[in-house]
Amino acid sequence: MKILVTGATGKLGSKVVETLLKTVPASQLAVSVRNPEKAEGLQARGVEVRQGDFDRPETLDTAFAGIDRLLIISADGDNETRIRQHTDAVAAAERSGVKFIAYTSLGNASETTIFLAPPHRAAEEAILKTGIPYSFLRNNWYLENEIPSIQGVLAGAPWVTSAGNGKVGWALQQEYAEAAAAVLSGKGHENTIYELSGTLLTQQELVSALGSVLGKEIPVQQVDDAAYAEIMKGAGLPEFIIPMLVDIQKGIRDGALEVESNDFEKLLGRPLTPINEALTQIVNGITQTK
């Protein structure tokens, strides 16, 4: 059996590969990366490194050749680009005779109205049309996404949000990676949808947990979308990112990530890392890299 992970030099992909290497022989593992030079360390450990570029679909036919189980990690970029890249990758997997496709999707992808959903919905639909056995890993939200806000708090700033009382199922990226590795290397995951969501918390509840980790009161500044955009602009964020951040906050406020599920625990075979412990890991990571 040969397993392949796309985007294997990215933050999530590299964690998936490292997790797989704990239980899967390197000879059974391949990676598809845009720049093979970045994966030389994996090659040295016996992992087969293949060149595959989502912007050049013809390279994916070669990258996916002879692969039994494939993990397509969703690409970065605007929605239009991602829809094209994802559907091209699925078409290449079908042409190459891949026998199982796992895909890193988004919480409640088929129903949610959050602006991030269209590329994930398109990928899921494309995979379903192929008839190839699949598993949709509907990742809720990485706790690491909050690192800029946590850095702000560490520098003495308040926690700024326009997400109101919307709840999010945060979890560590490492745990999303372990869930993906469990599906790729395990049995019985054909034609499954896993809603990978941690304990649902509001921004206020997350900040309270962060406050207990840091041993201090953290003020939460609840603002409207326009004020949030202005504050982000004032913090020096690039103009093009600000509308996306505002839309994410709006989506959370509207309940887009409020997905209750115990699928995470089922795949990991253990409870998720408690939020205080997870936040401690994040804070330690920030302070160690200073």
Q: Is residue 58 part of a domain?
A: yes
Q: Using one digit for the tens of pLDDT, what is the confidence trace for 58-96?
A: 999 999 999 999 999 999 989 999 999 999 999 999 999
Q: What percentage of the chain has pLDDT greater than the value 90? A: 97
Residue 22: its pLDDT value, please? Answer: 98
Looking at the DSSP assignment, which residues form a beta bridge with residue 101?
70, 134
Q: Which residue has the tokens 């990215």?
A: 10
Q: Is residue 14 part of a domain?
A: yes
Q: Is residue 29 part of a domain?
A: yes
b/e code 45-54 from CB counts within 10 Å (16+ = b): eebbbbebeb
Q: Is residue 192 part of a domain?
A: yes
- Vertex 5: Cα angle to 115 and 132 (nearest 5): 75
d(CA 270, CA 143): 18
Name the amino acid, one letter, at 159.
W
Question: Which CATH number do you get for residue 81?
Answer: 3.40.50.720
Q: Is residue 20 part of a domain?
A: yes
Written as six digits, the tokens of 197 are 């969501």
Q: Using one digit for the tens of pLDDT, what is the confidence trace for 13-62?
A: 999 999 999 999 999 999 999 999 999 999 999 999 999 999 999 999 99
Q: Which residue has the tokens 């605007």?
A: 78
Q: Using one digit for the tens of pLDDT, what is the confidence trace for 178-220?
A: 999 999 999 999 999 999 999 999 999 999 999 999 999 999 9
From first CA to last CA, the distance across the chain in angstroms is 42
pTM, 2 dp: 0.97
Residue 289: its pLDDT value, please? Answer: 76
Q: Is 33 left (phi over 0), alpha (psi -120 to 50) or beta?
A: beta
Written as six digits, the tokens of 203 are 């921004």
User: Residue 134: which domain range?
Assistant: 3-140+171-196+259-271
For the chain, the domain total comes to 1
What is the arithmetic mean of pLDDT over 139-161? 96
Q: Is residue 253 part of a domain?
A: no
Name the amino acid, one letter, at 74.
S
Residue 290: its pLDDT value, please? Answer: 64
Give residue 180's Cα distance to chain centre. 10
Q: Is residue 290 part of a domain?
A: no
Residue 73: its pLDDT value, please? Answer: 98
Residue 288: its pLDDT value, please? Answer: 87
Q: Using one digit for the tens of pLDDT, what is the confidence trace for 248-258?
A: 999 999 999 99
